[in-house]
Structure 1
């Protein structure tokens, strides 16, 4: 079988991660964490398992329904259970940053299908975008907010470049109509003095030192938090309570080694390159999925500069699904054309 080009760096990532687990400072912890590598089977399952457009459409309808359910539940819990302004909404996953990351990815899919698809269901996707956007705001997940802005810029750029003017107006409107606590959360993006930002600065310094100490295979999957308890890395008591370095690049290199980081970056690069090539196909459905996948890729990478989101199994699963769908549809269309000639 011919898989998408990005699948091969993923295999290298898996192989190197298992070596890292074998050489880990705590093999038991690392091999337990390595079970999440099975999530990468989503790529061949979607690519080979979706043999008809009907199957793909049904899967996306299921995603649409789950997106509505997740978003509405976030809104419900915030207003009827949380009921306190400064608390952040969670949802089914129970973790605000994971919930924010999922909603960000879903917003990419919803906005892209609404703008590019020619089918009537696109209006349901458009409404889903607004509901999910509101839910995302309630999670107060700044990394996902920033990522969604980049996603929206990319999607509108491919749609109609002139529509980019909407984004600054939307951001200004969002700020001025937001309640006080949302305004404060928004402004904190531009400050390094909040108690959640200070540890991130510490993690950068500690992460670099850990990479120097464990350059080839890292400390082992899911063991960085064990290693950075050592006073030599200079983390404050608050920073030592966390379980990762709040950054995909730093965390991957620190716990799995520089070669694994190179494999991960190759995966990101080849995914972008392969999706960009698919843009030549102007089929409305394929174009919508391709732009959505590009948005998801940019979103995951941008949010991952502030959060180790590639470790969240829920986010990884949705992300892998989104980036594989365009190639599955392209494969289906290619086979359909072959059968008619």
Structure 2
């Protein structure tokens, strides 16, 4: 029996109905994961070193090979003589584009359902309400998640408000971007107000991009911050023009 913990790898054998410690190589410490393939044992340690071990005829560990991997893997698998390393950061980045990841699969199903609702109610949608009672009739039998919204601003606008509603909201979004951009151009180089305008523009565009995977514009806290940020930008610009005219 082979056991690994944060300190070392331990090998035990059952002899005369007693568990006897046979070996624990001191070269290997801070063990993260152990995997095996046949008679060969692979050990990943905390500093990113991977050891290949085998048990010799003296019932001792024999280190066949070792190598320090950079960047340090968070997990690995040993199969058919090959070691496959995985990295959490890379996995999270690639997971954005994995349609079979559970979160992505659920969102794609919601967006599909929203599109089907829109096709039946194209002009004005089903109304600005929770759409769960509609979604249950449009989802596929194996789509289990049921929400009152579609985790996407634009699919949700289409399903609830139709083309007219989406057009009106998109017009408002575009006009906000144009207004803030004009304020920034008019005040470029001026203390505070130019920086605030640029920050407000970046924040608003970020909200629109984030809305591709969340219904953030219908969130009261976020909507309040959006209106406050844009309104304050306009108010600062009006005050700036008044002070400029007075001088």
TM-score interval (norm. to shorter): 0.5 to 0.7
- How far apart, in 2, do the equivalents of 1:250 and 1:338 lie? 45
> CA, structure 1 residues 235+255, in 2 after alignment: closer, same or farther (shift >3 Å)?
farther
TM-score by length of 2: 0.60
- Give the root-mean-square deviation of aligned CA atoms: 2.2
Check if 1:194 corresponds to 2:108. no
Q: What's the offset of the Cα at 1:279?
A: 2.0
Higher share of residues assigned helix: 1
What count of residue pairs does the alignment treat as equivalent? 163
Q: Note if contact 1:188-1:194 (Cα within 8 Å) is conserved in structure 2.
A: yes
TM-score by length of 1: 0.44
In the alignment, what sits opposite 1:185? 92
Q: Note if contact 1:206-1:235 (Cα within 8 Å) is conserved in structure 2.
A: no
- How far apart, in 1, do the equivalents of 2:243 and 2:157 lie? 40
Check if 1:315 corresponds to 2:246. no
> CA, structure 1 residues 178+313, in 2 after alignment: closer, same or farther (shift >3 Å)?
farther
Higher share of residues assigned strand: 2
Which has more radius of gyration? 2
In the alignment, what sits opposite 2:154? 249
Check if 1:337 corresponds to 2:230. no
Q: Note if contact 2:109-2:143 (Cα within 8 Å) is conserved in structure 1.
A: no
Q: What's the offset of the Cα at 1:298?
A: 1.2
In the alignment, what sits opposite 1:274? 179
- How far apart, in 2, do the equivalents of 1:284 and 1:235 lie? 58
- How far apart, in 2, do the equivalents of 1:201 and 1:192 lie? 8
- How far apart, in 2, do the equivalents of 1:253 and 1:226 lie? 16
Q: Note if contact 1:228-1:235 (Cα within 8 Å) is conserved in structure 2.
A: no
Render the CA deviation track for 1:28-79: whole Å, top value 9, x for unaligned: xxxxxxxxxxxxxxxxxxxxxxxxxxxxxxxxxxxxxxxxxxxxxxxxxxxx
> CA, structure 1 residues 204+271, in 2 after alignment: closer, same or farther (shift >3 Å)?
same
In the alignment, what sits opposite 1:264? 169
Runs of 5+ unmatched residues, structure 2? 1-70, 75-86
Q: Note if contact 1:289-1:325 (Cα within 8 Å) is conserved in structure 2.
A: no
Render the CA deviation track for 1:258-298: whole Å, top value 9, x for unaligned: 11110110011111111111222121211111111111121
- How far apart, in 2, do the equivalents of 1:235 and 1:317 lie? 37
Check if 1:238 corresponds to 2:133. no
Check if 1:325 corresponds to 2:235. no
Render the CA deviation track for 1:13-33: whole Å, top value 9, x for unaligned: xxxxxxxxxxxxxxxxxxxxx
Q: What's the offset of the Cα at 1:235?
A: 5.8
Q: Note if contact 1:215-1:253 (Cα within 8 Å) is conserved in structure 2.
A: yes
> CA, structure 1 residues 235+220, in 2 after alignment: closer, same or farther (shift >3 Å)?
farther
Q: What's the offset of the Cα at 1:253?
A: 1.5
- How far apart, in 2, do the equivalents of 1:235 and 1:204 lie? 15
In the alignment, what sits opposite 2:10? none
Q: What's the offset of the Cα at 1:178?
A: 11
Render the CA deviation track for 1:207-248: whole Å, top value 9, x for unaligned: 111011112221121231110111x442634222x2211110
Render the CA deviation track for 1:286-319: whole Å, top value 9, x for unaligned: 1111111111121111100111111111111112
Q: What's the offset of the Cα at 1:182?
A: 5.5
Q: Note if contact 1:246-1:306 (Cα within 8 Å) is conserved in structure 2.
A: yes
Q: What's the offset of the Cα at 1:177?
A: 9.3
In the alignment, what sits opposite 1:152? none
